[in-house]
Chains A and B, each alone.
Chain A
Amino acid sequence: MFGQANVLAQGAANFPPSVEDFYLPSILPWGAHNSYWFTKITFMVWLAVGILILFFLLSYRNPQLVPTKKQWFAESIYGFVRNNIAVDMIGHQGVRFAPYFTTLFCFVLLTNFFAIVPFFQISPNSHIAFPAFLALISYVLFNYVGIRHHGFVKYFKNSLIPPAPWYILPLLIPIEAFSTFLVRPFSLAVRLFANMFAGHMLLLVFTLGGFAMLNATGLLAPVSVLSWLMTVALTFLEFLVICLQAYVFTVLTASYVQGALAEEH
């Protein structure tokens, strides 16, 4: 399960780290390399889902008008996404999207957060499958909402034809189509994936680099220490990225929904 720790313990750190470091052997069956049903990654996804469900159900088991501390905390998470993302971006009707946005935000935040939790130390979102699935939901969501709100023809007219002189439209329509219907889901998924991937890679480079130098010669020990200090510093940076990317993913989804609901361009 804690493959990374095993690697370090054995002192067989492979440096420089490669893409293969992101694909740990599976847990069930133990050690298999091409089985993905139950790996550390999928375990963390289930764990995140379990933690979130337990947290929210427990803290909202018996809601009071005057909230308890736990209830207040759960409410402020929802209140933050509801007021600062859904209502701010979409307006009053954004409230009905707030439950989904909050679920999305919490899920991305927690799965990202595994990247810097000791013994987990990798985010499921550094595998593009998960960001891709979330981006797909966002894509379906904003298109569905737009079509439902405007009707099929008007929605595509709104989305594809910007208010511009007719002679520039032949240029603009393909660009709009490309950016709205092709690039959006892709960029959404890749942004999150790449951030978590790069973050993990950076931490690996500095952690394993320290071991590599130490193994090479004892003279490099001070540089190893420096390298590990960099790891600590980068962990703080990673924390920032974790929160920021969860926020960005949610805000962009909200922004796409807002664009789909907008009357005109």
Chain B
Amino acid sequence: MNTSVNIAGVTFKNPVMTASGTFGSGAEYSEFVDLNRLGAVVTKGVANVPWPGNPTPRVAEVYGGMLNAIGLQNPGIDLFIERDIPFLKHYDTKIIVNVCGKTTEDYCEVVERLADQPIDMMEINISCPNVKEGGIAFGQDPKAVEAITREVKKYAKQPVIMKLSPNVTDITTMAKAAEAGGADALSLINTLTGMKIDIHRQQFALANKTGGMSGPAVHPIAVRMVYQVAQAVDLPIIGMGGIMNAEDAIEMILAGATAVSVGTANFTNQTVTTEIVDGIEEYMSRYGVDDVCELIGAVHE
């Protein structure tokens, strides 16, 4: 049975990855999960300099999901290179570094710093809804998406994944723009902007007022968007959004994703990623699938 997938020339032992921001750089979860069993670890967004993030409360639970407004707190690229990459190099898994910034120059600086690092891919976060500058500002206008993709590609030595926002009228427009800018792959979806109000205190549940919604409630939206984007572009897709188990992951692959990222589910179950790896294999055995790639976009009318 083959469970490996290929994205932009990089081979992953299986299609299961961690969604950026939910898994740190893997150190905390390595106490529960054998990182060697994952297709890739996608690290928390890192910027050119350390970011303190937003005030607390930064998270709130909602029915079937959660809101977060962490605000991309990160230690900056220097410490990340010194500490986090060497940590992950102890494991037999691929490393995808999520990159964030306030300006195009910030993104390019990080991408340039990563050029000589032993990482496999970069995921460019142009879809964070929780920061005032950068983030989603680059991800809601197709011209901006194409321009930043093109700029980042000038400095990138590793393949570039553009991470798209669902907070747009038509995500295929953004996907096409990223493709036109030279993206090697796409990640979708980032979180959906939401809000929760504590009716007892009559206050916003999050200090940031709004936050990105994730969790099982957003999964059908993510499946729909992955399907639409798979129809619209020729790029490989890493599908994410509310994947809680192997069934959800397989659904995403059938919709057109080459790989999947598991995020919020890690908070519910620390070992969910490897359970999904096992579950995909069980599904393949059950349905006589020899190669997981046969499942990519295999949904039919």
Q: Do A and B bind each other?
A: no
